[in-house]
A and B are shown apart, each in its own frame.
Chain A
Amino acid sequence: MKTKTANLEPSSFRDPDAFIFFFNNELYRQINQRSRENFDFFLDSGLYQKLVEKKMLVSHEEVSLKLAITENAYKIIKPQPIPFVSYPYEWCFSQLKDAALLTLEIQEMALAYNMSLKDASAYNVQFIGYKPIFIDTLSFEKYKEGEPWIAYRQFCQHFLAPLSLMAEKDPRLNFLLRDFIDGIPLDLTSRMLPWTAKLNFSLLTHIHLHALNQKRMANKKINKNKYKMKKFQMMALISSLKSAIKKMRMKNFQTEWQEYYHFTNYSDESFEYKKLLFKNFLGKIKPKSVLDLGANEGIFSQIACQNGAYTIACDIDSLAVEKAYLEAKKSKNKLLLPLIIDLTNPSPSLGWENTERKSFSQRIKVDCVSALALIHHLAISNNLPFTLISQYFASLGKYLIIEFVPKEDSNVQKLLQNREDIFDEYSKEGFEKAFGKYFQILEQKKIKESKRVLYLMKRR
């Protein structure tokens, strides 16, 4: 009877201690009897209180056991909601770095309270705006004297491996996390890193030596009574991981981005005018959530935030997202979540039965979609028909603010420079006809000193 109205969340099947379910569209978590001791210790020791006070962990309230799904329920909790669930392969370098540091700081604090993290999965961290927050209240267990950190390998695979690859090789390598759902294998990381990475003692030990030892010890049993780790040694291990991660920087990043993002063909005046138009359109519809597609470094996303909307700023370029995140962090913007999304190939559903991690399209539902200076990239660079673009945008949000960039525009001309113009449909009329199928055009304004037009549309 109960299971008919409640839906189990497919991503939480791995944990025998607890699972997540939805009831009346709200998220709950059932804590099973077997984790009673650890969960009570977590609350009674004061660790939970401390982490919530410091905003490092989601808070929760205990609700009636009547909601229990199975008989072995010990407690039912209702965790603080997260505005939008994102995944590590959608994060830029600094987001993954901050998530890693949060995990290590939590482990340090847990050790001070005689507890330890049993998981160090990057999926246990979420972002509320610029701020990473730990979401797994059931990851804490009592510290056992002499035992090493059980989550060490997972930490290296989920955090250290992708971060080192992004820092030492290429920031786009975070996409490997999409293929390796339990983190990037260390032998692969070790083979991909440039040889100079071996000069870094932390990478030499945590990645290369670790990978070598995995091979050497594969299929071997270890005498756990002989090899023990004292608590101060575990603290030293955590602190060495922390300093290794803090020191990580993306090579060539500072020098490249300066020149990288100044390719707009706007005059300052028309850029300011476009900002004003965008602000006016937002003021008319007052969205609570905005999805800014092709957000670049997030200048227009910030306007949406100022308008009070929780804004997800997506861009294909990891360096643009990096810049947007650093800016959000600097201004402590809790409404701006920048993510790396390739709109022509958004994150698919992954994992067991393809249900463990939801696709981008499954997760995203917003009040307003904005697509500024994007349509020519989709229609011309990617040969996407207007109808398909408008159909997809209509599935994402109720309102649409979209900029039409005509063929005469110098940027479109650049795209057509070395190819045949097969885009007969690409005109203002063709655009309005195709988008009119899914949207009602509420308003359109010409952008001063340019041939571009900004539209406000509402889904039919």
Chain B
Amino acid sequence: MAKTSLRLAFVLSLVFFLAPPKVYAYLDPGSGSYLVQIIIASIAGLGYLVKLKWGKIKTFFSSTGKKGAKDENQDSQS
């Protein structure tokens, strides 16, 4: 996962600083468009999932937070 993110960050920074070369493909089966939309959809999909499950994530963290606080309280009491 970390490796993929690193690679993606590298590609995006490359895109940022370089102008694309002219496309003179004689036989272009459209593989570039195929792959690029899968990359974008994966990133967008991740955001989509986070948004969808945001409530659950929030309760998960807040409950673990509370639990942690409770444990600390218990520790200090004992």
Interface residues of chain A, those whose CB is within 8 Å of chain B, are 148-149, 152-153, 156, 185-187, 190-191, 198, 204-206, 208-222, 224, 227-230, 232-237, 239-240
Q: Is the CB of B44 within 8 A of A148?
A: no
Q: Is the CB of A237 within 8 A of B32?
A: no
Which A residues are CB-close (under 8 A) to B40? 205-206, 209, 237, 240
Q: Is the CB of B23 within 8 A of A215?
A: yes
A355 to chain B, nearest CB (A): 26
Which B residues are CB-close (under 8 A) to A229? 37-38, 41
Q: Is the CB of A210 within 8 A of B19?
A: no
Sample 5 A-B pairs with CB under 8 A, ordered by A number. A205-B43, A208-B15, A217-B34, A227-B34, A227-B35
0 or 1 for each of B1-24: is its CB under 8 Å from A? (1 = yes): 000000000011011101111110
Alpha-carbon distance between A239 and B39 when the two chains are bound, in angstroms:
15
Count A-B pairs with CB separation below 8 Å. Answer: 124
Which B residues are CB-close (under 8 A) to A235? 48
Alpha-carbon distance between A220 and B45 when the two chains are bound, in angstroms:
26
Chain B 39-78 residues near chain A, CB threshold 8 A? 39-45, 47-49
Q: Is the CB of A204 within 8 A of B19?
A: no
Alpha-carbon distance between A229 and B45 when the two chains are bound, in angstroms:
10
Q: Is the CB of B33 within 8 A of A214?
A: yes
Q: Is the CB of A239 within 8 A of B16?
A: no
Which A residues are CB-close (under 8 A) to B14? 212
- Interface residue from A156, A204, A218, A237 paired with B15 (Cβ < 8 Å): A204
Alpha-carbon distance between A447 and B34 when the two chains are bound, in angstroms:
62
Which A residues are CB-close (under 8 A) to B28? 214, 218-219
Q: Is the CB of A232 within 8 A of B33?
A: no
B21 to chain A, nearest CB (A): 5
Q: Is the CB of B11 within 8 A of A209?
A: yes
Q: Is the CB of B18 within 8 A of A233?
A: no
Alpha-carbon distance between A229 and B36 when the two chains are bound, in angstroms:
11
Which B residues are CB-close (under 8 A) to A185? 23
A147 to chain B, nearest CB (A): 10
Tell me the dominant secondary structure on chain B's binding face: helix
Q: Is the CB of B44 within 8 A of A233?
A: yes
Q: Is the CB of A236 within 8 A of B15?
A: no
Tell me the dominant secondary structure on chain A's binding face: helix
The number of chain B residues touching the other chain, given as a range, is 35 or more
- Interface residue from B26, B31, B34, B41 paired with A234 (Cβ < 8 Å): B41
Known A214-B36, A222-B31; further 12 A-B contacts with Cβ < 8 A: A148-B41, A152-B37, A187-B20, A205-B39, A209-B11, A211-B20, A214-B25, A214-B32, A215-B22, A217-B35, A233-B48, A235-B48
Which B residues are CB-close (under 8 A) to A236? 41, 44-45, 47-48
Alpha-carbon distance between A359 and B20 when the two chains are bound, in angstroms:
34
Which A residues are CB-close (under 8 A) to B38? 148, 227-229, 233
B13 to chain A, nearest CB (A): 10
Q: Is the CB of A187 within 8 A of B45?
A: no
Residue of A nearest to B52 (CB): A232
Q: Is the CB of B23 within 8 A of A153?
A: no
Which A residues are CB-close (under 8 A) to B20? 186-187, 190-191, 208, 211-212, 214-215
Q: Is the CB of B19 within 8 A of A222?
A: no
- Interface residue from A190, A204, A210 paired with B33 (Cβ < 8 Å): A210
Alpha-carbon distance between A218 and B23 when the two chains are bound, in angstroms:
8
Alpha-carbon distance between A229 and B47 when the two chains are bound, in angstroms:
15
Given A235-B48, A237-B37, A237-B40, A214:B23 Cβ within 8 A: yes
Q: Is the CB of B35 within 8 A of A213?
A: yes
Alpha-carbon distance between A211 and B35 when the two chains are bound, in angstroms:
12
B46 to chain A, nearest CB (A): 8
Alpha-carbon distance between A219 and B30 when the two chains are bound, in angstroms:
8
- Interface residue from A191, A228, A234, A240 paired with B19 (Cβ < 8 Å): A191
- For B11, B15, B42, the residue with the greatest tally of chain A CB atoms inside 10 Å of its CB is B15
Which B residues are CB-close (under 8 A) to A208? 15-16, 20
Alpha-carbon distance between A153 and B26 when the two chains are bound, in angstroms:
17
Q: Is the CB of B37 within 8 A of A149?
A: yes
Q: Is the CB of A153 within 8 A of B30?
A: yes
B48 to chain A, nearest CB (A): 4
Given A185-B23, A215-B32, A221-B31, A204:B16 Cβ within 8 A: yes
Residue of A nearest to B22 (CB): A187
- For A218, A227, A239, the residue with the greatest tally of chain B CB atoms inside 10 Å of its CB is A218
